[in-house]
Amino acid sequence: MNLISIFIAGLFTENILLTKFLGICPFVGTSKKEETAFKMGLAVTIVVTISSIITYLLYTYILVPTDTTYLKTLMFILVIASLVQLLEMIIKKYSKSLYLAFGIYLPLITTNCAVLGITLLNINNNYSFIGMLTYSISSGLGFTFVIYLFSTIREYLDNKPILKSFKGYPIALLTAGIMALIFGRIVL
Amino acid sequence: MRQLLKIIKNENPIFVLMLGLCSSLAVTTKVENAYLMGLSVFIVLLFSEIVVSLIKKLVPDNIKIPVYIVIIGTFVTLLEMVLKEYINPLYQSLSIYLPLIVVNCIVLGRVLSVSSKSNLKTSIKDAIGISLGYMLALILIALLREVLGNNTITLVDSLSNITNFKVIINVFPKNNIIPMSFMTSPSGAFIILGLLMALFNKIGGEKNESN
């Protein structure tokens, strides 16, 4: 039961984009097309899940016993950066078509606050291993869901008459504000 | 001085460059958090830009980004340790947004685009200008959100274990006004920032036309 509530929280009520503001840069930057938004979301989900597992194990079995938890920010960002680099190399070697589809989004993920944010939240929230896994997968999916929804709304808004000064970022942020209001109200 | 003003106005990280939006939206529920976050970014940006501009010739091009991230991460970790020890309430209220300065696009972006190419003096000027612009933008957002959402202006609260006094101003008399509490919620942040950006576009656009 607890796992289900963690899952719902990650997906809707504590959506990383709309309530924790993690990953806003790609959210407003790359979400103009449905397809790119969806791919970006999937790439983030995969990287978040793998890096959460590695950083969680690193934190519990190396940093805590040696009493060096103050190094967590530095260690986590190194893990994420090298993981992204590694994934890029692996994908490039084994699947050319996958590389062409995901390749350009991967390097951007290193500086996406969502990944570092979720790995740090896992530690702050004191999750168990399974809880951590559930939370990272559901937040990744929540990110994908919201960025996809958002991109469809933006495609629709593109052809509408909007005040000149509201074009682009301002209207996108207002849309996000209304979505955040709705998502914050979903209580199960 | 004129150069500094130009950076603050024309390269404002939030309203013009659209960088570092995550932290600007998350910590702006209180004016105090806003200016302290601005100060934290200033310290990290200043030291990172100084170090990077000094060692830029020693770093090979293809490992530039990892090296710079480690430098930024080191300063963020130092800042975290200092804040945890001396201003713990602030450390708690900024929570994960303090370590997230590492991946704040402003810091890495400026380090890559300015200090890895220019000398020490330009780097320091850039760090001061950019972080002043960031801080002013944060304070503006926080001021609107806190006054509208909570009817207060918090100037000194978490800092009170150093200063020994608190400064929290009530803007309107409490009994004849009902604060819009959604302004301090996440959606208020998006809406305020959206409206402010539209305003900046309007002002900036008119200037460009008259030129």
The per-residue pLDDT for range B123-182, each reduced to its tens digit, is 898 899 889 989 999 999 999 999 888 888 888 887 877 777 788 888 777 667 777 888
Q: Is pLDDT of B211 > 80?
A: no
* Mean pLDDT, rounded, of chain A: 84
* Mean pLDDT, rounded, of chain B: 84
CB contact (8 A) between residue A165 and residue B198: yes
Q: Is pLDDT of B207 > 70?
A: no
Most confident of A100-104, A136-140, B114-118: A136-140
**3-class secondary structure for chain B?**
CHHHHHHHHHCCCCCCCCCCHHHHHHCCCCHHHHHHHHHHHHHHHHHHHHHHHHHCCCCCHHHHHHHHHHHHHHHHHHHHHHHHHHCHHHHHHHHHHCHHHHHCHHHHHHHHHHHCCCCHHHHHHHHHHHHHHHHHHHHHHHHHHHHHHHCEEEEECCCHHHHCCCEEEECCCHHHCCCCHHHHCHHHHHHHHHHHHHHHHHHHHHHHHHC
DSSP state of A9: I
The confidence band for B210, taking pLDDT boundaries of 50, 70 and 90, is: very low
CB pairs under 8 A between A and B: 128
The pLDDT value recorded for residue B209 is: 47
Residue type, B191: I
Shortest Cα distance from A82 to chain B (angstroms)? 9
Own/partner long-range contacts of B77-84 (Cβ < 8 Å, ≥24 apart): B77/A70, B77/A71, B77/A73, B77/A74, B79/B40, B79/B43, B79/B44, B80/A70, B80/A73, B81/A70, B83/B40
| Percentage with pLDDT > 70 across chain B | 96
What are A54-89's pLDDT values in tens digits? Answer: 999 999 999 999 988 888 888 998 898 888 888 888
Chain A residues with CB-CB distance to B21 below 8 A: 21, 24-25, 28
Number of folded domains that form chain A = 1
Chain A residues with CB-CB distance to B113 below 8 A: none
The pLDDT value recorded for residue B39 is: 92
Q: Is pLDDT of A188 > 60?
A: no
The pLDDT value recorded for residue A135 is: 93
What are B47-59's pLDDT values in tens digits? Answer: 999 999 998 888 8
B81 touches chain A (CB under 8 A): yes
Q: How far is CA B13 from CA A3, A33, A79, A123, A165, in A?
A: 39, 25, 28, 30, 18
Q: Is pLDDT of B78 > 90?
A: yes
Shortest Cα distance from A98 to chain B (angstroms)? 24
Residue in chain B closest to A183 (alpha carbons) equals B187
CB contact (8 A) between residue A25 and residue B22: yes
> What does the alpha-carbon distance between residue B170 and residue A113 come to, in Å, rounded to a whole number?
35
The confidence band for A186, taking pLDDT boundaries of 50, 70 and 90, is: low
CB contact (8 A) between residue A177 and residue B188: yes
Q: Is pLDDT of B198 > 60?
A: yes
The pLDDT value recorded for residue B21 is: 79
CB contact (8 A) between residue A166 and residue B66: no
Which residues of chain A are at the B interface, by a Cβ-Cβ cutoff of 8 Å? Answer: 18-25, 28-29, 70-74, 77-78, 81, 110-113, 116-117, 120-121, 124, 163-167, 169-174, 176-181, 184
CB contact (8 A) between residue B189 and residue A177: yes
Look up the domain containing A10 and give its range: 2-185
